[in-house]
Amino acid sequence: MKIIEQARLAKEASLRLASTPLEQKNRALSSAVELIRQNREIILAENSKDLKQAEKGKLTESLYKRLILNDRKIDQLVAGIEDVIRLPDPVGRVQLERELDQNLVLTRVSVPIGVIGVIFESRPDALVQISSLCLKSGNAAILKGGSEALYSNRILFELLRRAAEETDARFKSSLQLVETREDITELLKLDQYIDLMIPRGSNELVKSIQENTRIAVLGHTEGVCHLYIDREADPQMAVEVAYDAKCQYPAVCNSIETLLVHGDLAAEVLPLLAEKLNMVELRGDERCRQLIKAEAATEIDWCTEYNDLILAIRVVDSLEEAVSHINTYGSRHTDGIITGNRDRANEFMQQVDSASVMWNCSTRFADGFRYGLGAEVGISTNKIHARGPVGLEGLTTYKFKLAGRGHLVADYVEGKKKFSHRDRQ
Amino acid sequence: MKIIEQARLAKEASLRLASTPLEQKNRALSSAVELIRQNREIILAENSKDLKQAEKGKLTESLYKRLILNDRKIDQLVAGIEDVIRLPDPVGRVQLERELDQNLVLTRVSVPIGVIGVIFESRPDALVQISSLCLKSGNAAILKGGSEALYSNRILFELLRRAAEETDARFKSSLQLVETREDITELLKLDQYIDLMIPRGSNELVKSIQENTRIAVLGHTEGVCHLYIDREADPQMAVEVAYDAKCQYPAVCNSIETLLVHGDLAAEVLPLLAEKLNMVELRGDERCRQLIKAEAATEIDWCTEYNDLILAIRVVDSLEEAVSHINTYGSRHTDGIITGNRDRANEFMQQVDSASVMWNCSTRFADGFRYGLGAEVGISTNKIHARGPVGLEGLTTYKFKLAGRGHLVADYVEGKKKFSHRDRQ
């Protein structure tokens, strides 16, 4: 089938999905759990085909690891779907209820967005997770997985599709799989059918999607996150948080890449830091290097996402200078301050133009699960639609419904009637 | 100054604006009211230069009318700013407050978007209105008016700029004016500085902006709105609402272009309709033309926004057929149903994929003022970010703030601590 035809069918399905009750959506998800459990052996067999292919190819160690499915990973997949079943329905929430006049009542209700295009690399578990979230939120999804996971994706997709379509005819065609790189080029042109693109993978993937489509894109390209140690910081806390934010999991987007430290505290805090972070390669500015051993940082270091045990360090003379550095070199993802002074913390959190701003805690908390959003659809560095960690709410939009008894605008324009605009709580 | 430099300055200003208190924003707006009042004669003189120019040119009657400023229009301008002053601050609203764990508190707070690019045609009053809304919401704005209003725009811009900058240094460079058509091309490339584009004008203007930028665009290209008269409709109400929706102001986007009528009621309602709408040119399908006098409607009629006293009519056999017609040919703007049956109304309102859906009332109610949104930033047919009539809320995004006491992610990953995720109300 041609991609455009798949997208058209997904669009049609999305109109039916919008009025599918929660019960049916959860039944379809339960059925997916059943089918995955029953077909465990087949899934593993298909996955081993991908692994065999990968051994011959040139997959990196970490990509190969992500590709592997085993019993434990399948259990996690199933547990993930069960988590989604337990989430409340994101659709049908009344966001506003307002009497415009007697018997003329406006409501604003959450509804699915429509058709979501998802592009992900390697990990076949991403297919299951994002499909469950789309199904729960009443969206149709067009899925494009990495070619290295071809067989794994096909079997998982087939099980999910069957679970949905056998539960309720309304789900027919609501999940679509596309497989080739050329298909992506086609997908990105279909803004008449696809409402939102979610790329999941490397910064390069996200950037290339953003640059080649007019469809809205939910995702973050980079996580150049900062920790600023203020002159009123507790040095011990500062070092502990810096260690957590850099070393607990350096490969992820919400770990820090640059540490800014106030000049008044630098002589005290930097030696402590160098000791605690002794496994980290430090790159400092001039003033930093007068205090501790570090490579010389260049302009490029300030805007680099290392995703590794490397940390750039700069000594600043004021909170303003720290804020200005972050707004200049950062990626508007997550940035934190350590200070004992609430006013200075508020100033920092207000002026730093990032999706998440932290005070006296680790940047690593910026995450949908830790924020209690139930499930993470993605993290967004956009300001439009959804920002920061995005939960199921990010897969919904809203609709205005107005109910009257033959009300005419002419009566209000001519002054015969007046609006009351009374909100109902 | 080069456009890119103007945009860079606007971006810088936007970071300062984010923490400007309501009081200062309102003082700047009050000062604008004063300055416009004091400079009424100068404004009229500058406007007359534009009018003189226009007389020589080839401006249409309606564009010429929109260009005119007079005492009454200036009073309206001033009243418009005073309305904006009375609106509550859209910035700093706490949307979520959640204890993640003891002394680890997450808040989600509304913040300005940043830099808004506004492109409008002809009407110099649009410059004042949109600048006031941007100022109130703490956004910087880059304004491009129509060249036919060059002198009027310059003087109004200058007064607003002075009002803002003399009130508070933080407003410096927050309003920028650009003047030539080539400047638009430049603006549309500056997605590193501009967060949202708002085109105000013809469908063609909006479409051309959407097609030529990667910046998010708030606006609607077309308003192909429908009224469906169900088989359980009160014929009298149906005809009254159809009259209001078509004739009360046919040139606007929320007036109807196509009427769908259920076959069971067509013989009764269509003759009544033809009588009441006798000033309207009717274009019907075969079954319609067997009942009343009408031109033959073609496929093109179903997707045309007439913006005029022309109405396409189609007889359908079911609610499903009506919904399908609307989802196929409509522009997802505003569509209504007339029916005495609540279940059928709900079905229609759920399945029609439009920003506003109406039951037993006129589509003409779809409007920011009538919906009680305080001010209308625009009407959006997008699903991403803002949909339907958009108030000041549409000029904001949000930010997550997390405050702790040295909290580390490692403690939660290692199981030493657990999240409580308790919402505060």
Within a domain: A208: yes
Q: What is the CATH number of the domain that holds B302?
A: 3.40.309.10
Q: Which residues of A touch B349 (CB under 8 A)?
A: 399, 401
From residue B260, how far is each of A278, B15, B17, B296, B318 by CA, in Å?
Answer: 74, 50, 49, 15, 10
> How many percent of chain A have pLDDT more than 90?
83
The pLDDT assigned to B364 comes to 97
Residues A206 and A244 grouped into a single domain:
no
Residues B162 and B282 grouped into a single domain:
no
Q: What is the CATH number of the domain that holds A159?
A: 3.40.605.10
Within a domain: B361: yes
Measured in angstroms, the CA of A49 and the nearest CA of chain B are apart by 33
Count the domains in chain A. 2
Please report the residues numbered 79 through 98 in chain B whose beta carbons come closer than 8 angstroms to any beta carbon of chain A: 98
With residue B242 as reference, give the H or E element that holds it.
Answer: helix B235-247
What is the mean pLDDT of the segment spanning A365-384?
89
The pLDDT assigned to B422 comes to 95
Last residue of a domain, one of B330, B365, B400: B365
Q: Is B207 helix (H, G, I), strand (E, B) or coil?
A: helix
Q: What is the span of the domain harbouring residue A281?
A: 225-365
Q: Which residues of A touch B100 (CB under 8 A)?
A: 365, 370-372
What is the mean pLDDT of the segment spanning A301-313?
96
Residues A128 and A270 grouped into a single domain:
no
The pLDDT assigned to B1 comes to 78
Residues B122 and B236 grouped into a single domain:
no
Residue A197, number of CB atoms within 10 A of its CB = 24
The pLDDT assigned to A60 comes to 82
Mean pLDDT of chain A: 94
- Does A244 contact B421 at a Cβ distance shorter than 8 Å? no
Among the partner-chain residues A18, A98, A365, the one whose CB lies closest to the CB of B402 is A365
Q: Which residues of A touch B326 (CB under 8 A)?
A: none
Whole-prediction pTM: 0.92
Among the partner-chain residues B356, B364, B384, the one whose CB lies closest to the CB of A409 is B364
- Does A364 contact B409 at a Cβ distance shorter than 8 Å? yes
- Does A211 contact B216 at a Cβ distance shorter than 8 Å? no
- Does B401 contact A359 at a Cβ distance shorter than 8 Å? yes
A406 and chain B: CB distance < 8 Å anywhere?
A: yes
- With a cut of 70, which residues of chain B have pLDDT below it? 122
- Does A408 contact B345 at a Cβ distance shorter than 8 Å? no
Would you say B422 and B97 are in contact if contact means Cβ atoms under 8 Å apart? Answer: no
| Residue B390 phi, psi (nearest 5) | -115, 125
**CA nearest to A327 within chain B:** B15
Residues B154 and B265 grouped into a single domain:
no
B359 and chain A: CB distance < 8 Å anywhere?
A: yes
The pLDDT assigned to B234 comes to 98
What is the mean pLDDT of the segment spanning A181-210?
90
Would you say A364 and A255 are in contact if contact means Cβ atoms under 8 Å apart? Answer: yes
**CA nearest to A346 within chain B:** B401
Residues A387 and A294 grouped into a single domain:
no
Q: Which residues of B touch A405 (CB under 8 A)?
A: 237, 360-361
The pLDDT assigned to A210 comes to 86
| Cβ-based contacts under 8 A for chains A and B | 220
Q: What span, in angstroms and rounded, lies between the C-alpha atoms of A423 and B269? A: 36
pLDDT in tens, A136-177: 999 999 999 988 999 999 999 999 999 999 999 999 999 999
Residues B232 and B123 grouped into a single domain:
no
Residues A341 and A305 grouped into a single domain:
yes
Within a domain: A407: no
- Does B384 contact A113 at a Cβ distance shorter than 8 Å? yes
Among the partner-chain residues B248, B360, B407, the one whose CB lies closest to the CB of A405 is B360
Q: Which two tokens stand for residue B67?
A: 């260009």
Nearest-10 crossing angle of helices A342-351, A319-329: 20
Measured in angstroms, the CA of B400 and the nearest CA of chain A are apart by 5
Measured in angstroms, the CA of A12 and the nearest CA of chain B are apart by 9
**CA nearest to A106 within chain B:** B371
The pLDDT assigned to B229 comes to 98
What is the ipTM, given to two decimal places? 0.92
- Does B359 contact A402 at a Cβ distance shorter than 8 Å? yes
Within a domain: A404: no
- Does A406 contact B350 at a Cβ distance shorter than 8 Å? no
Q: Is B5 helix (H, G, I), strand (E, B) or coil?
A: helix
Within a domain: A419: no
Measured in angstroms, the CA of B369 and the nearest CA of chain A are apart by 10
Within a domain: B301: yes
B365 and chain A: CB distance < 8 Å anywhere?
A: yes
The pLDDT assigned to A59 comes to 80
A58 and chain B: CB distance < 8 Å anywhere?
A: no
Last residue of a domain, one of B330, B346, B365: B365
Last residue of a domain, one of B323, B349, B365: B365
A360 and chain B: CB distance < 8 Å anywhere?
A: yes
B321 and chain A: CB distance < 8 Å anywhere?
A: no
Within a domain: A416: no
Residues A314 and A332 grouped into a single domain:
yes
Query: Residue A345 pLDDT > 80, yes or no?
Result: yes
With residue B347 as reference, give the H or E element that holds it.
Answer: helix B342-351
The pLDDT assigned to A222 comes to 86
Would you say B397 and B110 are in contact if contact means Cβ atoms under 8 Å apart? Answer: yes
Please report the residues numbered 372 through 391 in chain B whose beta carbons come closer than 8 angstroms to any beta carbon of chain A: 372, 382-385, 387-389
Nearest-10 crossing angle of helices B342-351, B319-329: 20
Residues B292 and B233 grouped into a single domain:
yes
Among the partner-chain residues A356, A358, A384, the one whose CB lies closest to the CB of B195 is A384
The pLDDT assigned to B15 comes to 93
Q: What span, in angstroms and rounded, lies between the C-alpha atoms of A378 and A387? A: 10
- A27-46 burial, b for 16+ CB within 10 Å, e for fewer? bbbebbbebbeebeeebbeb
**CA nearest to B353 within chain A:** A15
What is the mean pLDDT of the segment spanning A80-92?
95
Residues B280 and B313 grouped into a single domain:
yes
Mutate to test the interface with B, among A358, A399, A412, A424 (most CBs of B within 10 A): A399
Within a domain: B107: no
Residues A27 and A162 grouped into a single domain:
yes
The pLDDT assigned to B232 comes to 98
B345 and chain A: CB distance < 8 Å anywhere?
A: yes
